[in-house]
Structure 1
Amino acid sequence: MTGIPKQLPFTNGAGKQWLSEMMPGFILCLVVGMAAKFVSEHYGGPTILYALLMGMSLNYLSQEGRCIAGIQFAAKSVLRFGIALLGARITFEQLLGLGFTPIAIVLAGVPATILFGYFCGQWLKLSKSQSVLSGASVGICGASAALAVSAVLPEDKESEKNLIFTVISVTALSTVAMIAYPLIVTGLNLSEAESGIFLGATIHDVAQVVGAGYMMSDDVGDVATFTKLLRVAALVPVVIVISLLFAKKGKAKSQGGSSLPLPGFLIAFVVIVAINSTGYIPQLVLDGMTELSRWCLIIAMVGLGMKASFKELSEMGWRPIALMVAETVFLAALVAIWLFMAR
């Protein structure tokens, strides 16, 4: 019968060779990711951090052997696919329902934190890419923002090490904030709405925002979660702007030879958010996309961890840590001042 291919894409020689190269490393990352998920569910703590640390303990596997190609595939291709699916978590209606105050705080806080990180990083003699990466991770949504922004920053020999260091640092700071910030908002005598806005606008990772918010009350948790979603939505324009800026300087990463400076995963993210906002995607499908995105990011973090080592991270010195702590304090102070002025 004409018009029907005699072979499926992965049954020809090239497809079989690709699978044989990718599968060992990919399956390894999946198994380690499942172990990280198990530890997180049974003993507490962020899954992504466990995945990263477990991957780093297997760093030698990325140096030689059959797993190299699959680890690289997990750290790049799976990562970008997972970022695109993050769009299934938010809608425009959710964000607009927050009112003016959290929107204004996010619109001011996100770019201010990134700019603060950039100039502070320059003062600390860090690279522009590392300064922007840390500022975006603190200002937007922690590890997810770091993963997305790193995909449009210029590649060099330090790129992956900077990303891994940023993910570890921002996750650790977010965990500390989850414990400390509820005590801070209580000491500042903030209302439930103000407490939720503060937690959602300052804590880095979504999971820690939810934990800190609902630790105080359901109302605080609801406001904190929606405020955090607004920060997550800021990922789209921020990555677009960063991509355009580096493209203008002729430094952007190659995106398959396309003249469009925007990476495909970012376009897919925006499209998914827009479609999700229409309400046409069934809830079962949204749940599946969200879960798949979560697993893609876990697998990607295992792959990234396998490509780094504790020795390499220890050689980065005190400056990157000082930068991220300074950005965290700056963002918290900015939001607190804004809330007091808005009363």
Structure 2
Amino acid sequence: MSATAITALGTRSRTLLPGFLVSAMVAAAATFLSEHYGAPVMLFALLLGMALNFLAGDSVCKKGIEFTAREVLRLGVALLGIRITLGQIAALGWQPVVMVIVLVVVTILVSIAAARAMGFNSLFGLLSGGATAICGASAALALAAALPAHEKKEKATLFTVLGVSALSTLAMILYPMIAHALGLSPLHAGMFLGGTIHDVAQVVGAGYGMGREVGDVATVVKLMRVAMLLPVILCAAMITRAQGVEPGTKRPPLLPWFAVGFVILAALNSTGVIPEVVQQTGGKLSQWCLVIAIAALGMKTQLRELAAVGIKPILLMVGETTFLVLLVLAMLRWGM
């Protein structure tokens, strides 16, 4: 590496470091609050980030915050692949696989149609529907990274993260009660919880709260939903390419690098060559990257902007969540 390149790297690092460090500090504070009060860490990171939104306009932190919200987010999405193995999916048989594919596809299509009917851009339906159907805040962030840029994209992303985090916490409390009331077997209870709750952490909490067998099934079904992130990202990337690019900018790849990383890590993890300690470390690093990124996104917006969205987006997300619950229960009743 030449002296010029080293100097340029050092200059870039000094430019980006303040914004990254403040995002990491917010993420650490959010993690502390989440561990002590039991609320979703993404929700705390988002709210704390918005409380510090003045930093995004500061010349010292601005570039680092923008870099963190974009590139650290993509790294976190790529590392999600280390959670998944084909063996986990095969162990439950073909029926849960079919259920997951159907619920993801149908929920996203219904969400897009509902968004259009309510006067929103169809991309908001894809974003909120993907977050609801796949893996909550992580899916919202991943899809946002792949979708085309527009003036309301960050506001839509933050609102979606806020909505799915709140609904996921509520689901962790209510859905086990629903499973008990309906008399679902441990297998069906696990499929119900894993197929409906938005975030992985809440699935684990609700599932193992009902028993080990329920928790094991719920976790694997949830990881199947996480695996659906790849084809949905691919569709989002195709939409981005189809819409063209701004003059002077490069055409985006059909499959973003973070999606390629997701596939490679999932494939390697399926072979068994990745030690368990590396899997656990990669999973934790993925979580940290996503929390740091959502803190940075929070700093790029203002609470009054989210408060101005009105009731219709809230109704859309509640409707998507309710539809997903009814769809999964119907499939368990008549299709499984």
Report how far residue 285 of structure 1 moved.
2.0
1:320 paired to 2:313: yes
Of 148, 152, 158, the match for 1:154: 148
- Please point out which of 33, 38, 47 is paired with 2:27: 33
Distance, in Å, in 2 between the alignment partners of 1:189 and 1:338 is 16
Residue-by-residue CA offset, 1:123-181 (whole Å, 9 max, x unaligned) = 10011111110000001110011011111111111000100000000010111111111
Match of 1:17 in 2: 11
- Which of 28, 53, 59 aligns to 2:53? It is 59
Q: Could you say which residue in structure 1 is the equivalent of 2:40? A: 46
> Aligned with 2:273: secondary structure?
coil
For 1:24 and 1:264, the matched residues in 2 are separated by 26
TM-score (norm. length: structure 2): 0.96
- The 8 Å contact of residues 237 and 253 in structure 2, kept in 1 or not, is answered as no
1:214 maps to 2:204: no
Shift of 1:283: 2.0
SS of equivalent residue, structure 2 residue 309:
coil
**Unmatched 5+ stretches in structure 1:** none
Aligned with 2:256 (options 260, 263, 280): 263
Deviations 1:246-294 (A, max 9, x none): 323436x99x835632111111111111111111122222222212111
Q: Does 1:311 align with 2:296?
A: no
Aligned length: 335
**Is 1:275–2:268 an aligned residue pair?**
yes
Partner of 2:293: 300
1:75 maps to a residue whose letter is A
**Amino acid aligned to 2:168:** S
Aligned to 1:142: 136
- 1:1-343 matched pairs, under 5 angstroms: 5=1, 7=3, 9=5, 11-12=6-7, 14-250=8-244, 257=250, 260-342=253-335
> Tell me, what secondary structure is at the counterpart of 1:170?
helix
SS at match of 2:119: coil
Greater alpha carbon shift after TM alignment, 239-248 vs 317-326? 239-248
Cα separation, 2, equivalents of 1:183 and 1:23? 46
Post-superposition shift, 1:7? 4.0
Q: What is the CA–CA distance in structure 1 between the aligned matches of 2:24 and 2:240, rounded to whole Å?
A: 33
CA distance in 2, matches of 1:132, 1:7: 46
CA distance in 2, matches of 1:264, 1:6: 27
Tell me the TM-score normalized by structure 1: 0.94
Which shifted more, 277-286 or 172-181?
277-286
Residue 16 of structure 1, CA deviation? 2.2
CA drift at 1:6: 5.3
Q: Hey, what's the Cα distance between the residues in 2 that align with 1:7 and 1:92?
A: 46
The verdict on how the C-alpha distance between 1:121 and 1:19 changes in structure 2, with shifts beyond 3 A counting, is same
Distance 1:122 1:182 in 2: 33
